[in-house]
Amino acid sequence: MNKTVFAYVASIFVLIAAVLIGVTVGTVRIPIQVLWNPNLDEAASNILWNIRLPRVVLAGLVGSSLAMAGAAFQGLLKNPLADPYTLGVSSGASVGAVVTLFFGISIPFLGLFTLPVLSMIGAFLTIIVVMSFAKLIDRAMKMETIILTGIIFSSFLGSVLSLMIALSGEELRQIIGWLLGSVSMRGWPYVTMALPFMIFGFLLLWLNRRELNALVFGEERASHLGVDVKRRKMMILTGGSILTGAAVSVSGTIGFVGLVVPHMTRMLWGSDHRHVLPLSFINGATLLIVCDLVSRTIISPSELPIGVITAFIGAPVFAFIFWKQRRKVSA
């Protein structure tokens, strides 16, 4: 078995194990052998199919989307510290959600989906503004310009969020809880809501996997290899933004998944994007399912926001990558 095949087999095996543990462990334990029992009692069946399984599936989809978007942004920007949040997309989605909660907006024909839809619209509007502004000040749209523009808009949107939190009253707890990130009590409607966008974003990035390999060596060299750099950059940024916007719209702000998973995947299995993208997709799902399991069991019956768990893992990894980069520059 070669290294690549082993990477897929090992990643899928760990993902299946995480799913099985995720649906069986919790406040009410469901023995694993019961999963194959056709005579499962009604209470256990309800917990399994209506609470645990949609939660595990949603955590997996959110983790996959953030990790795959992070892998694409890191490859495109040639920077291991880049992740979906660098472009301000998550901040835009957060503003959309907080505006919904702050003003109590409920669009009649959307009902329950008002929050995720407005959150996703916030993400799309942000990436459009960021890309338009970057193009306005630099028609070549160099990577440095895109990153700086994303950071500027992310800071601005962060101040908008702070203002709304400062002005909020009874909505404060709900807003803070949403911003910390969670997949609790979302259910199948949120899965079906986000899934089409996630599939579209996945396909956009997958179709550009070879171009990402060329862009790693620089835009000029990629252009010499026949890559339509501007078009491909736009497709990759759009695909990553769709994945990020869809994930944030159903789970809130969950940081560091898009940073940690692609970095670890590259360290373990190499930097070929034909494999980095799907392996990040699989391992991102595993990481967030495990983080969600920890968040709902570590202080059971209470729950921690899943964003707290990912931050505990991601912050040291971020510091390590930053330290490694600085040493490399100084050498």
Per-residue pLDDT at 328: 67
Domain total in the chain = 1
Task: Work out the angle between the directed axes of helices 172-180 and 143-167 (0-180°, nearest 10).
Answer: 150
56-68 pLDDT, tens digit each:
999 999 999 999 9
106-143 pLDDT, tens digit each:
888 777 677 777 877 887 788 778 878 888 887 766 66
Residues 6 or more apart from 106 whose CB is under 8 A from it? 114
* Model confidence band, residue 11 (pLDDT cutoffs 50, 70, 90): very high
Is 195 in contact with 206 (CB distance < 8 Å)? no
Q: What is the CATH number of the domain that holds 220?
A: 1.10.3470.10
Longest dimension (CA), the chain: 65
Q: Which domain holds residue 41?
A: 3-330
Per-residue pLDDT at 13: 95
Q: What are the tokens at 244? A: 């990020």
* Proportion of the chain above pLDDT 70, given as a percent: 89
Task: Work out the angle between the directed axes of helices 53-77 and 143-167 (0-180°, nearest 10).
Answer: 140
The pTM score is 0.85
For residue 53, the surrounding DSSP H or E stretch is helix 53-77
Q: What are the tokens at 9? A: 């087999």
Q: Which residue has the tokens 């920890």?
A: 294
